[in-house]
Chains A and B, each alone.
Chain A
């Protein structure tokens, strides 16, 4: 038998039907749902008299629209259209009998943080959600990707997706990361290397020593941004860290079922000699703390670099870079570490987990944000928030002058009251620096939580390693 990749194995175990032309019907183990991309799908079910085929495998949580301010129980904190969308999810969850974490539930949060936290996401599963950052769940060795609303309706009705198999891509990060370098820097470095279309048509398997050395939360950060490199899904083979993370979670198997699950999960790895259609290798030691300077996640450079010149690029990218620099208000040759910022946003499905908050708090402890900077921390879930309060992290943020918010997608995509004003420049731990992403005219620099904390203190993009040296 031909040696198979991890992706091949998960795929093979979920094919319901394969047509002669290779079009497959793929079974879906977990369907995560949020309020923005689902109302039309539920409406479609109603119009055709269809039911949700597997409500026990369908989990919904509102996250994109919900305000993160402490007064959000007051309906006046939401716009009418946001309120209608969240209310529609409330109704749909009840009418169709699916699992639901409403805004009032302490377990509410960003769908990609809640899924793993509650043990819905497990190795070897297929996981989909009407959200491109579903790639996050690949950290468990589950095949997870974003889908459109028509496909949401298709999965609700049939628990399957019509798919053609993608190609296999291996991204290996050898060696170890240097101090001050994080999972966020790994995933940004890969996108800088491959470009935002480099992964199109592929499923990426991340491997190598630096990936093995990451915690589960770090691995989620890496897989989260696979989509920014064009790959629908990123995967990391499960190991003892994965099993330890899953054990005891509310929806993880228990007892004999746990033992059976682990023995299956241990078969989920790429076999020696399996074929990859594309291979990218980076040295962990070569990765520096990174920031983005432009309006595409591929516009990434070490914090020690300078703003590039459009003339350094070729093809359609020349015009795109000129447009990006105009939009970002930057001049070629300007030092990245001298770019002054107005706002710091720590949160999102990329970096809204407890370890992200610990990393930021470690830099902020005993320090204050620069006067005039707007800074907020938005935990990825109500449980992350509770844990951060218990560990004393919340107090560090508050003492440093940060707003300590409730869980939600917040300023990552600004569908809620958390937005940038035109021209406002933000150091953000989120995943997209597109034009207008955080608010019309808003300027986004993507970076790690520790780098965001450092920028809050100095008021400009800052090499966090300098600050770490100070504290040693």
Chain B
């Protein structure tokens, strides 16, 4: 997993609420057996016509936002299907950070496994960041994971919370499985206890 430390980039505004993972990456693109290559189909049905032509007013098709690295989104971003193809598609497009007032649990969790930082902010902060993002490509925002701050293009600084374990893994690009396998002895002894208490399981 790629490390996440500090990012300065273009933020794209997507104020729509309840953006679900079917919108982020429609099901016809889930037939891949790879994790990469999904960026071109990110938000496919909002981004392209049925014939594959770009829909000019969709935010990521606008010249200012074509190389966005941050999304400022409406509430309950990532709801619906558990498909990890959603963060894979965002990452493949180049999005490393999503900021919203709330995220669906599974999506939120999936982001951290892929080097994407989801940030929950209060409504008024999201409103400020959204307004800043609407200024276009010159309005770059900075995300500092070490300091846990978001800085707008005009220098306003907002702190955010992040789980310490997840922060540690993101900063260091750590693989969860490797960390868990260090606890193999605990898993072994749990299995022995469980076998005695609940043998049918």
Which A residues form the contact surface with B (CB < 8 A)?
Answer: 13, 16-17, 19, 21, 23, 25, 27, 29, 36-37, 39-40, 43, 48, 50, 53, 64-65, 79, 81-82, 84-85, 88, 122, 124-125, 130-132, 145-151, 153-154, 157-160, 162, 164, 166, 196-197, 200-201, 227-228, 230, 232, 252-253, 257-258, 260-261, 264, 296, 315-317, 319-320, 323, 413-415, 422, 432, 434-437, 440-441
Contacts and interface: CB of A to CB of B under 8 A. Distances in A.
Given A197-B104, A316-B74, A434-B23, A25 B186 contact: yes
Contacts, number: 191
Nearest to B86: A148
Contacts of A130: 82, 84
A200 B76 contact: yes
21 contacts: A25-B183, A36-B31, A37-B82, A37-B84, A39-B33, A48-B177, A50-B177, A65-B31, A125-B201, A132-B81, A146-B106, A149-B35, A158-B184, A162-B176, A197-B76, A257-B199, A260-B200, A296-B20, A320-B16, A434-B22, A435-B22
A27 to B, nearest CB: 6
Interface string B57-91: 00000000000000000111001111110010000
A264 B74 CA distance: 45
Contact of A230 (B105, B177, B184, B187): B105
The 4 residue pairs across chains A and B that have the minimum distance between CB atoms: A150-B113, A253-B200, A148-B110, A148-B84
Interface of B: 15-18, 20, 22-23, 26-28, 30-35, 45, 50, 74-76, 79-84, 87, 102-106, 109-110, 113-114, 163-165, 176-177, 180-181, 183-184, 186-187, 190-191, 194, 197-201
A260 B35 CA distance: 44
A88 B28 CA distance: 17
A414 B187 contact: no
B187 A159 contact: yes
Contact of B106 (A16, A79, A132): A132
B119 to A, nearest CB: 16
Taking chain A's interface residues, is the majority helix, strand, or loop, or is none over half, making it mixed?
Answer: loop
B80 A432 contact: yes
Contacts of A201: 105
Contacts of A414: 27
Contacts of A413: 27, 81
Nearest to B79: A196
B15 to A, nearest CB: 6
Contacts of A64: 30
Contacts of A25: 180, 183, 186-187
Given A25-B186, A81-B31, A436 B200 contact: no
B15 A440 contact: no
Given A132-B82, A132-B106, A146-B82, A124 B180 contact: no
A197 to B, nearest CB: 4
Contacts of B31: 36, 65, 79, 81-82, 84-85, 415
B50 A19 contact: no
Given A257-B200, A434-B23, A16 B183 contact: yes
B18 A196 contact: yes
A122 B81 contact: no
Contacts of B30: 36-37, 64, 415
A257 B197 CA distance: 11
A21 B200 contact: no
Nearest to A296: B18
Contacts of B106: 132, 145-148, 227, 232
A457 B97 CA distance: 49
Contacts of A261: 198, 200
Contacts of A228: 80
Given A48-B177, A132-B80, A323-B16, 14 more contacts: A37-B82, A81-B31, A81-B32, A124-B198, A149-B35, A149-B84, A151-B109, A196-B76, A228-B80, A230-B105, A253-B199, A317-B17, A432-B22, A434-B80
